[in-house]
Amino acid sequence: MARLYTTEPIVSVALGELSEAERAGVNGIIESCSEAIEKHCGRWFIAEAGVRVFDGSGTQNLWIDDLLELGGVTIDGLAESTILRYPLNELPTTRLLRQYGERWPTGFRMIEVTGRWGYSETAPARVREACTMLVCASLRPGGRKPAEETLGVKSISVDGFSATFETVTLSDVNTWPPDVTRQLAAYRRMAVHAI
């Protein structure tokens, strides 16, 4: 099931009355925008229970996806009970350490972590707002007003005057409205690469 960060009623409030064509496509656009935000931020914002499998790095730190609640850890099928979560006083947890400074073993797909995964139980307000803005920009490029006959039109020309509407391409963050990327900046996950 897709994690959705806005809804059709919220988009309708933001844009006013949706045209019939907009109503027909809005749920697909909401899903696409929610997925694009997750990809851009490198995380998801609604918790899901499950098991994740990690490679053993041979180091003291096991960097993991955002974890809200730790259910258990197994190493090569054996339960490990002496796990420390970091950061200590905030969620989500993004790394695990073994007690007494023990290193994680080295090997592929040998560590299983069970828990509730995600940045938070429910999406933060700024993420929901950013998703709503992105959906609105996708539905009505350039802020144009709805009209059945102009949905999907990229430019118009009347009496020698022409206008071209901006197009939002979800795979290209550079086409997103600047307010959306500013809203999401604090939620982007930093990539950590071992050398």
Give the integer Cα–Cα distance in Å for 195 and 189.
Answer: 19
Give the integer Cα–Cα distance in Å for 8 and 2.
Answer: 15
Instruction: Indicate whether 53 and 112 sit together in one domain.
Output: yes
Amino acid, res. 46: I
Instruction: Indicate whether 39 and 56 sit together in one domain.
Output: no
pLDDT of residue 149: 39
pLDDT of residue 160: 60
pLDDT of residue 150: 43
Structure tokens at 170: 């979800």
Task: Give a yes or no: residue 157 inside a domain.
Answer: yes
Instruction: Indicate whether 183 and 138 sit together in one domain.
Output: yes
Task: Give a yes or no: residue 68 inside a domain.
Answer: yes
Task: Give a yes or no: residue 161 inside a domain.
Answer: yes
Task: Give a yes or no: residue 75 inside a domain.
Answer: yes
What Rg value do the Cα atoms of the chain yield, rounded? Answer: 22
- Is 75 within 8 Å of 111 (Cβ atoms)? yes
Write down which residue in 117, 145, 170 finishes a domain. Answer: 117
Give the integer Cα–Cα distance in Å for 180 and 189.
Answer: 16
pLDDT of residue 27: 92
pLDDT of residue 151: 45
pLDDT of residue 154: 53
Give every residue of the chain whose pLDDT is below 70, as ranges.
1, 142-168, 191-195
Instruction: Indicate whether 137 and 151 sit together in one domain.
Output: yes
When divided into structural domains, the chain yields a total of 2
Q: What is the span of the domain harbouring residue 35?
A: 8-43+125-187
Instruction: Indicate whether 159 and 183 sit together in one domain.
Output: yes
